[in-house]
Amino acid sequence: MRNTLFTVNSPCTRPSILPYCERVKERVTPKRFEHIVRVAILTETIAQANRFDRGELRAACLAAVLHDVARDLSAEELFALAPPETELEREHPLAVHGRAGRRIAESWGVSDERVLAAIEGHVFGVAHDNRIGMALYVADVSEPGRGVNHDIRELAMHNLFRAYQRAVNTKVAYLRSRGKTVHPVTLRVYREICGAL
């Protein structure tokens, strides 16, 4: 895994991001870390394609590196960081891993609200004016290791908002087709951004 981190030209190796990357690596499984590196690389590509400025680019890459830091914690650990707020969260502890990740990032000194909102929102969605969160959300669902959503990845290279709309729409359609409950935050985001679809 060290090879993946240090030989690939990835945002993880940037001096301002590397320390976070190494801390994340200690907290997740090797497979998860590989996913995180792929998401960071794709987030950077999407951000560049959509002409993010330097600050936005760095914020997006940092959010990508941190987004799944809580993903491999136990239910007890997750709930200690992010107590469940809905019945769905009580039944599915992993549902709070975005909020729990935000808490860990805060405890590591991250204070940029754009980064924190993106980490939290990668699970249920972010507001439509949060470009950093949209880039991360889209990269997370379409990174090459998932083997799906190639169309969303391609769309993101020239129209991030459209790609985000499609990603949220796809998620809601999938949940509904399986008879699963859609989290209230996802539903709010869906109504906000997919109303015109």
Q: List residues near Fe ion by CB under 5 A.
A: 68
Residue nearest to Fe ion (CB): 68
Name the minimum Å distance from CB 46 to Fe ion.
17
CB 113 within 8 A of CB 62: no
Q: Closer to Fe ion by CB, 44 or 68: give it.
A: 68
Nearer to Fe ion, 58 or 71 (CB): 71
Give me the least distance between CB of 121 and Fe ion, in Å please. Answer: 11
> Tokens standing for 130?
């949060």
Q: Which is nearer to Fe ion, 31 or 158 (CB)?
A: 31
Tokens found for residue 132: 């950093």
N-to-C CA span, the chain: 41
CB of 98 to Fe ion, least distance (A): 6
Report how far residue 50's alpha carbon sits from residue 121's, in angstroms, rounded to the nearest whole number.
Answer: 20
Closer residue to Fe ion in complex, CB, 7/106: 106
> Distance between CA 146 and CA 74 in Å, rounded?
23
158 or 180: CB nearest Fe ion: 180
Instruction: Report in angstroms how near the CB of residue 32 gets to Fe ion at its nearest.
Output: 9
Shortest distance (Å) from residue 130 CB to Fe ion: 16
**Which amino acid type is present at position 160?**
L
For residue 66, which of 85, 88, 43, 49 has the smallest C-alpha distance?
43
Q: How many residues does the chain have?
A: 197
